[in-house]
Chain A
Amino acid sequence: MSRWGQRALAGVIALQIAVPAVALTLEPPTRFGWQMYSGYDGELVVLGADGEALEYDVSALFAKHPRPELDWESRVVEELCRHVEGASSVAVTQGRQDRKVVPCG
């Protein structure tokens, strides 16, 4: 390894810094940003037709509670709507975003 090795080394270190630096500018928590335990969790509440909160077993639907880095509004909401009986919408509070009610279907 010589000149190119040295450049590759500098390039890897630059990437190590650049990736989380970019992630820091995005909506937290973001993957590849080393933003673990930063307090940006969230809540998924399944709502019935009258807006009442429906209980559901997280472990029956998900391998583990969906991490806040995932996009909850698409696949996670779909999954809840499909499997929770009587669900008509899901209230999603994720990261520092305001509570958002996503209708099923």
Chain B
Amino acid sequence: MWLTKVRVDGLPIAVTRIMLAVAFAIIVVESSAVLHQIAAGRMTYPVLEVIPAPTPSAVLVYFALGMSAALFLLVGLMPGFAAALASALAAWALLWDQQTYSSHHLLCALLLGYLAFARSGARLAASAKLRGGVRGDVPWWPQLLMLTQVSVVYFFTALSKINPVFLSGEPLAGWTWFAGPGWLFQGLAVVTVATELFLAVGLWVPRLRALAVVAGVGLHAGIVGSLADQNVILFGFALLTLSTYWLFLRRPPLRLVPFSRPGRATAFGDSPNRKQPDDVTAAVSG
């Protein structure tokens, strides 16, 4: 039994799909605005000189395709194809001009890439209804990639903030819409780093993950609510990361996930020595 054959309930990934659809729509609007400005004569900064610069009509096609993919994802119509298209479009925008780069744009492209394999249309999806019923369980390995990706983001963004500039609190004081004493922003800077480090680990630990979810929601709500600019974009970033939280809460217990060779695998509720079937369907309870 292989890790790639572990299957889980399809409802959480369907919710993830819906949240990613909204986040992707925000990113399409944001990147289209940047690309439109470039097409209108602002500085071009291509990743590769061979890639043609954006033109108004090409940007319009990108926007239309992007919003269509987002809509298909939202309603769950051909969600695998829509996720692959959305991921490719997000990657294309990053390649088109360096000025479209942002961490949330890159994260969106990656999460959508994993989502393309996640069979996220098993639940809450038009395609499932058109097929005349729901398919309950889905492969877990794409979800695993989403979870590790989000943990890596939290971990490295925390590490990069451990520097004298950020910890001084001055950047935070400049970004927020409210004023306050220096110690307040120094404290917020430390809390931010600590929370991000906690999330990188805590979301994986069963005893801590409920607290981690609360901390994560609080962190992202705090970012969206307290920063003076780019609140819609920051809301999109929050959706990207928060879209994985239910997957963290409902993931298979790691001790039951077969990371090693066949014959040593264990399924949910099984004893370690029990012979395993080829395909394990996980009735995940957390």
Contacts and interface: CB of A to CB of B under 8 A. Distances in A.
A17 to B, nearest CB: 6
Interface string A1-39: 111011001001100110011011000110111111111
Interface in B1-25: 2-5
Query: Which secondary structure characterizes the binding site on chain B?
Result: helix
A32 B43 contact: no
A89 B149 CA distance: 42
A66 B157 CA distance: 20
Given A5-B4, A69-B101, A16 B149 contact: yes
Given A9-B144, A64-B34, A66-B99, A20 B161 contact: no
A31 B212 CA distance: 27
Interface string B192-203: 000000000000
Given A6-B3, A63-B34, A31 B145 contact: no
Interface in B137-178: 141, 144-145, 148-149, 152-153, 156-157, 159-161, 163, 165-166, 168, 170-171, 175
A70 interface: yes
Contacts of B107: 34
Contacts of A36: 102-104, 157
A96 B4 CA distance: 43
Interface size, B (range)? 35 or more
A16 B165 CA distance: 26
Contact of A1 (B2, B157, B165): B2
Given A36-B102, A38-B157, A9 B3 contact: yes
B102 A67 contact: yes
B43 A79 contact: yes
Contacts of A40: 163, 165
Contact of A17 (B97, B104, B152, B165): B152
Contacts of B175: 37
Contacts of B115: none
Given A31-B101, A67-B101, A75-B45, A37 B4 contact: no
A65 to B, nearest CB: 10
B146 to A, nearest CB: 10
Contact of A16 (B152, B163, B166): B152
A61 interface: yes
A62 interface: yes
Given A2-B2, A9-B4, A63-B35, A34 B156 contact: yes
A38 B163 contact: yes
Given A9-B141, A64-B37, A70-B98, A3 B166 contact: no
Nearest to B159: A24
A41 interface: yes
A3 B260 CA distance: 10
A6 B4 contact: yes
Interface of A: 1-3, 5-6, 9, 12-13, 16-17, 20-21, 23-24, 28-29, 31-41, 61-64, 66-67, 69-70, 75-76, 79, 96
26 contacts: A9-B3, A9-B145, A13-B145, A16-B145, A20-B152, A21-B156, A24-B159, A32-B106, A34-B153, A35-B156, A36-B102, A37-B157, A38-B157, A38-B160, A38-B161, A38-B163, A38-B165, A38-B166, A40-B163, A40-B165, A62-B42, A63-B37, A64-B37, A64-B99, A67-B102, A70-B101
Pairs of residues from A and B, 7 with the lowest C-beta to C-beta distance, nearest first: A39-B166, A63-B37, A39-B165, A35-B160, A1-B4, A20-B156, A39-B171
